[in-house]
A and B are shown apart, each in its own frame.
Chain A
Amino acid sequence: MATVELAEPTERELDAESADWVRRLSAGDGSGRREAEGELHARLVRIALAEVNRRSGSTAVTGPELTDVAHQAADDAMLAIVAKLKDFRGESRFITWAYRFVILEVSAKLGRHYWRNPPVVLDAGQWENLPDRLGINPEQHAEAASILAEVRRVVQDELTAHQRRIFVAVVVDGIPLDALAARLSLQRNAVYKVIFDARRKIRRALVAKGYLDDPGLEQL
């Protein structure tokens, strides 16, 4: 996997609004700082509530629990922002930098809350759903059954037990990636990397068998 490309030196002069936020939040222990923290927290709560509502169609969390997730996300984002304020380098407006914390908190908390009432349990292994998951219909495509069998063979034979568990949970059983990461105490990136490597292995196998004939970007 590649590393991010920073195209230019990232420190730049702050815009007036960002400078004002940093100045007020960095001020001593006085009322000015508390006022700024209160103002920022109110904004974080508003953004978190909007975000959980935006995602309400893709989560089983509803009602007061969803509102609670938003408030928890805003609280934790606020703590992180205050703790990392000195790391803000003006690569974006301050408020964009700050809102990133609350959006990521919402994602992580919705992932953890998935397990309170999960539609699919961990390690269900619902292989009968694989055709739907991959968009392959064995009844309409002559090679589909062979392709699905090859996918399953790669998963069974070429992945480690850990990789297989993650692939089956996310791709076969449809467990949200963040929910699985929370359940296994992994970072999102660790789960993504497993799926990334599995996709590459499966594709190579299908190319070798002649089902897919393009070498793909990873071959370039």
Chain B
Amino acid sequence: MFTYYFSLALRSLRRNVVLTALMIAAIGVGIGASMTTLTVFRAMAGDPIPNKSRQLFAVQIDNWGPRQGVVIGDKDNLQEQISYPDAIGLMNARAAQRQSAMYATGFSLIPPNPELRPFVVHARAAYADFFPMFEVPFRYGGSWTAADDAGHADVVVIGRELNDKVFGGANSVGKTMNLDGHDYRVVGVLDRWQPTPKFYDLNNNKYGKSEEAFIPFTRAVEQQLGSWGNNNCGGDTIPAPGWEGRLHSECIWIQFWAELPAPADAARYRTFLNNYAAEQRRLGRFHWAPNTRIRNAREWLAYRQAVSTEVRILVLVSFSFLLVCLLNAMGLMLAKIMGRAVDIGVRRALGASRRAIFSQCLIEAGVVGFAGGLLGLGLTLLGLSGLRSLLSDDVNRLTHFSAIDVAIAITVSVVATTLAGLYPTWRAVQVQPAWQLKAQ
């Protein structure tokens, strides 16, 4: 009977084109508005590394203490980054299966091709574990090794775009690249990799592109490559002058991630971290009880409020607008269905059960929802292109509309319109055929 009801729905919609167009327009506008904001919200709130988001942990250590009185946006008095001494202490301890200290940096790249002018490259200093830990895909070559970390090797992993720009997309593994006047050997070229949000460093352009070059942390420190990201020093944390002064200060500028596959690993690491902080206290560096924390990637995104309250409110407002549109569509549907009360009465007289009438009307609502969804898709694309023109290139990937978004838009439209059609449908089922036929 579905195909029969479907064909009846199409006939019914053709019967009153203006009313049908109004219903579809109401739903389309609502879907367009809500899907535009939902698309951006999903990009912001998505799980950037779904396979491992519960196994990767951001590490926090309170190295300022409560006396500092400086709380950086956190209720728990824990800083969002760690200091260099702690980064080195944790790396040397090797308490996790994989771990990496890292920071954002950059340099000027002098291309081997003299026709290209030098340009700035955003980079990340990290340890070799960074790549397998974050499942970074390689197009050519691979990561450097732990020996390269230990040896402060002049090696670099570059991004696909940079490889295209400098080496024309060819396999550049083994070639050299001049960064800030020093030659680095390319050991790997990344494939497309763009975790959104950039969870491993939410301090620096969290919806922006991933870095285009990666070099060993040890080499970056040796080269005194400064942090291009967020640095926090204040009060007692003011560093002594110079690079060495910064390294030995309590300034926080380094992100630290550990891979802890099992809950038991995480529990052990928590203990280790508290012991580490207690040890720092015994050594006279900390003067307070250990205050440490690890949070997995999902918890980290929630803790850092990766999706701003404003965006959440915007989504709420747009879905409220969709609700208003659906209420309008429901009114129109009710008018349309009640206008067909006699037909419904006739069908009942000819043997249609209430369930049959219910199915027929609900399928009609679903068809309206589908058409509204298609219109809504068009309006969503229009809305996203409008947003794109307002956003910088770095973050306009938030407006990427995928096949999943298309499916969501159509599904939301069909389901919401069908739900909105429940009341008109219920009214249709209540039609007393005898009264309708008598009225004739």
A and B associate in one complex = no
